[in-house]
Structure 1
Amino acid sequence: MTAPTAPAHVVVDIEGTTSATGFITEQLYPYSRKHFARVIEQRGDEAEIARAVAAVRDHLGDPGAGTDVVVAQLNGWLDRDEKATPLKTLQGVIWAEGFASGELTSHFYPDAIPALRAWHAAGHRLYVYSSGSVSAQLAWFGHSAEGSLLPLFSGHFDTENAGPKKTAASYHAIAAALGEDDAARFVFFSDLVDELDAAREAGWHTVGVRRAGEPYFDRGVGTHPETDSFARVDLSGRQPVVAG
């Protein structure tokens, strides 16, 4: 059998990778904080929201916790920027409302959308793997300033359907979900070295995205190939190459 000539599956993170973390923390986080209580009260019977609220109550050890207590826990996680799954689920629901209403428009670095389109056109299958929920991802990529980018993507993964991003098992789970036995057919883009390390442990190719002004810039990306722009990355060979 002939060996693959290029990665087939391109998996991208969002914050610090395709998009500015500052936009999310300064625009989307306050927006979700403003709407937690309303969504829980008005849409609490919906399965996704009920499951998230139940998870918060389970974390608190208080199955009867009221909305104010649940919201306080959500805000605590938000203050510490913890990637708690119930928080991300509820943020995704709230952001989807905001994008649908036109109150929110997602941010992308100038090099991100052209690269995603070029990789898709070249035959690579694109996926998102983010701590943000799948619903948040769909809203984000569906409402860019250049319109919906969702047709470019073949799937979406988060901490609920794949697992924690700093654990190699999560990357194995994604490969299994896609029916791909060859880990070398994957390349993962992230700004966080712990995530890159986990992906590499699972056998994936990796590219560390290091953009000035991002929270993890000073940490670097370890021994992973490094770029400050998707435009510098060549995916045509058996492994990604970053132009100097």
Structure 2
Amino acid sequence: MRLRIEADAVVLDIEGTTSATGFVVDVLYPYSRARFAALLTERAGEPAVARAMARVRELTGEPDADAVRIEKTLNAWLDEDRKATPLKTLQGIVWSEGFARGDLVSHFYDDVVPALRTWHAAGVRLYVYSSGSVAAQRAWFSSTPEGDLLPLVSGLYDTENAGPKQEPESYRRIAATAGVAADRLLFLSDRPAELDAAREAGWRTVGIRRPGEPYYGQGAGGHAQAGTFDEITVARRST
């Protein structure tokens, strides 16, 4: 069954929606885990690294935590799959460099890229909102098996520049920044709590349900749902 949604812009979640969570957990997480120690010891003076380390100390209440202690915290957060902003910032630095070196190539489900190109060609603006940092998102979309997809994307949002993904205010902030009316924004995600927050902010929502993904068993939580992107037609407002 196809869905037809009237919207001027689509905002995309990544894990479980455009891409397999398993790739992130099985490939990207170990890649960052193996490189945190060097990042924290050799590059602690770099502003982005220093800010993230300071934020880890703040969140853990350990103002004197050294690089070894911070690394242990980051690895514990990885084990918990915690969406902590400093963890995502440091992962983004490591992953960006891995993608640039060619160590990493991102994953997209087969139905995603053709749909994104179709929507973009029809004048629908595309945005990304992920718990992964903007730096990681930029690397992810620029280093795909289909080439550089960044030209398709009008903006990137994470928990630092937009806010937590389960809070309606984050979606209001994105709408204001993007300059798109709430009821003309479509959010695609596999997580019902995120879809709930977007709907509370006035957005249109579709739950993406892919077998094998962690949130598949939760259903769509009363939202419209689709198994693949090619089940969704996005139409801009008629003029």
Task: Give TM-score, length-normalised by structure 1.
Answer: 0.93
Distance 1:14 1:179 in 2: 22
Equivalent residue, structure 1, for 2:8:
8
Q: Structure 1 counterpart of 2:44, which letter? A: G
Aligned positions of 1:34-49 closer than 5 A? 34-49=34-49
Aligned position for 2:223: 224
Other structure's SS at 2:11 match? strand
Report the secondary structure of 2:176's partner residue: helix
Match of 1:145 in 2: 145
When structure 1 is superposed on structure 2, of 34-43 and 18-27 the one drifting more is 34-43
In 2, the alpha carbon distance for the partners of 1:97 and 1:24 equals 16
Amino acid at match of 1:13: D
| Percentage of matched positions with identical amino acids | 58
Q: Indicate the structure whose relative CO is greater, using CA pairs within 8 Å and at least 6 residues apart.
A: 2
- Describe the superposition over 1:219-242 as per-residue Cα deviations: whole angstroms up to 9, x where unpaired: 11111111110001011266xxxx
2:47 maps to a residue whose letter is A
RMSD, matched Cα: 1.2
* Pair 1:50 & 2:69 matched: no
For 2:235, the equivalent position in structure 1 comes to 236
Paired residues for 1:149-228 under 5 Å: 149-180=149-180, 182-228=181-227
- State the shift of 1:62 in Å: 2.2
Name 2:132's counterpart in structure 1.
132
User: Per the alignment, in what secondary structure is the counterpart of residue 221 of structure 1?
Assistant: coil
CA distance, structure 1, for counterparts of residue 144 and residue 208 of structure 2: 20
Alpha-carbon offset, residue 79 of structure 1: 0.4
Structure 1: distance between partners of 2:45 and 2:9: 37
Which residue is equivalent to 1:241?
A: none
The runs of at least 4 aligned residues of structure 1 exceeding 6 Å deviation read none
Unaligned runs of 5+ residues in structure 2 are: none
Q: For 1:174-208, what per-residue CA distance to the aligned partner results, in whole angstroms no more than 9, with x for missing partners?
A: 0111233x211100000000000000000000010
- Partners of 2:29 and 2:139 lie apart in 1 by 15
Report the Cα distance in structure 2 between the residues aligned to 1:41 and 1:72, rounded to whole angstroms. Answer: 13
Aligned residue-pair number: 233
Q: CA–CA distance in 1 between the matches of 2:17 and 2:201?
A: 20
Q: In the alignment, which residue of structure 2 is the partner of 1:17?
A: 17
Q: How far apart are 1:146 and its partner, in Å?
A: 1.1
Distance in 1, matches of 2:98 and 2:20, equals 18
Following the alignment from structure 2 to structure 1, what is the Cα–Cα distance between the partners of residues 12 and 61? 35
Distance 2:20 2:90 in 1: 21
Residue 173 of structure 1: how far off its partner (Å): 0.6
